[in-house]
Structure 1
Amino acid sequence: MSTPTEDLSAAGVSIWLDDLSRTRIQSGNLQQLIETRSVVGVTTNPTIFANSMTNPDDTSYDAQVHELAQSGASATDAVFAATTQDVRDALDVFRPVYDATNHVDGRVSIEVSPDLAHDTEGTIAQAKELWERVDRPNLLVKIPATKAGLPAIAAAIGAGISVNVTLIFSLERYAEVIDAYLTGLETAKAAGIDLSTIHSVASFFVSRVDTETDKRLAAIGTDEAAALRSKAGLANARLAHELYEKSFASDRAKALLDAGATLQRPLWASTGVKDPALPDTLYVTGLVAAGVVNTMPEKTLEATFDHGVVTGDTITDGYAQAHQVFDDLKSVGVDFDDVTQVLEDEGVAKFIDSWHGLLEQVTKGLEAAR
């Protein structure tokens, strides 16, 4: 008997864990998840590192913080030293997966500073710095899909850096992300860079879409609006997958793929269910298709392993229904363009808040160590 996570992997979904800590690496837990839960990658963000590094029960950072304090490091320098070490160590754990999957999986992401979300040149410079400092081929540098982030994505890809594009909510922005990826590949090709060494995923957020949309549907208060609750997240992701298929079947994309480029895989992020009335594996079992990534918080991963029901592809036959959901949302008065803009603004703001909270806590730790 196979487990649900093995079934999910067999259906072509790459399971990534949306969490990382030094304790998880050093205790062997990360390796255990690879062996028992079919985990083949990890994503991180400032909130994850803040939770890990400021946990009073986690002493795994104490020695490094003390050493950094004695060297006079700033909080920013200390955070980058600690997080790049964690990511580098996790990448080494995943190296056998990276090799076994022909470099597709075995990936770990590290994010540029959220303060740079609206700074194109700053993002490019830091993406290059992180790529050089971590110095592992299976790294993904995480860049947000803000307007300022788009040219930074193209520039990073063009320089041969593998990128996880994060905070994508709308189909319009996703189309721009794909364009930025293809533009970057064209730049890399012209520079003589081996396109097969450049990998990318496009992180499309799911549960937050339902949270914001359902709030608006409740305010509308009609039966028609109520019937659309908790449908927007899956529908939006399915339409993103439809756009992915169409975009990478274009002549422009085919020419790059023929030259050795890899597909920029859709990644389902924010897959932890926030509404307790919904099945806790909804954004996993409802978004199955070969060649996608699902990055899960541990709670969702364990729920999937325990009772997830994987029935094969649950995306590609749902395009027409997904279009209908959006027609219906428009007819009841939901401005989905505003929904996605609010979510992008909130997403950037939350990461900035977490980043500053992390810097504040690390500053206190450095001062205490000094």
Structure 2
Amino acid sequence: MASDRDFFSFLGPLHLSTVDWNNEHHRRSVAASLVQGVYVLERDRQQNRKGLESLASPWWEFFHFQLVLQLRDDVDSSIFGSIYEFKPPACNCHHSIQEAPRYVIAFRGTVINPNSFTQEDLRLGFLFTINGLHETSRFKVSMQAVKNKVDAAGALNIWLAGHSLGSAMAMLAGKNMAKTGVLLQTFLFNPPFSSAPIEKIEDKKLTQVIRITKSFITAGLAVAVKGHQSEDPFVVLSPWIPCLFVNPADDISSEYIGYFEHREKMEKIGAREIEELATRNSIRNLLLRKTETEPLHLLPSANLTINLSPSPDFTRAHGIRQWWRPDLHMHCKLYQYRWKWR
């Protein structure tokens, strides 16, 4: 039986009958809706909803997108991503239409239903926590799809979008492309942060002490394990500025709030060089001697949006549907990584 969450007519952003592509709230809502379309595609598959019974298409057709490719997992054949092409009607003469993407590559997060769920989603979630997502067949399929579209259409015509585990997939793809000089517009909804949720500690003075202590320990370990390295991987990645959307009540993504705020605090107390080392390393990776790649969840730059609207429970705080609500109370801030030439 279909859940109400799958019906666009019930929960979709119906208020966006006309999209202003210069409006960041409209852009965010459309990107989130396209990600939701991937979730519903997979639930259509799981529940064998076909033809007139399928519910996914309104999530993209409402905004004049067409589904051009489903991305399927080699392990369990689940649909984990979609590539959409923007096909506006000839009568659409809105002045901002030139700012619309030609293609959007969207990735869903974990699908867990009472009667069916994909074990592969859970396995990939675990691999994310140990920085192993880049070795999976699902990511290899994703990366190839992104490269193919960039080669065919150009970076300026492509958006990446993802939610939860899907945002980790989009983040990794975006990072890989940025290392080659290709900067893709990227929307990361509730991206997982692979670290203890220090942000949830109510005593903010204690939180600050823990963060400062952690920074000094991380920086010390980095020097002991990696030595003094002149090359800073964050310098290469810093021009790429993905849009991060997090909720303080979401234990999975809320740590990004403190992660970026702490950088500024360390600079104010004169500990910038310590934080430059700490911010691009993780204690877990250093202890395990996994130093060949930077941890996936660590980012040099981001446009961080925090949903300050009340969230009654974790499910809503981590859910995708909050990001197309027209009445959000949000705080937005740009964090641009800066470095010193030595």
Normalised TM-score (structure 2)? 0.38
Q: Which has the higher contact order (CA 8 A, sep 6+)?
A: 1
Normalised TM-score (structure 1)? 0.36
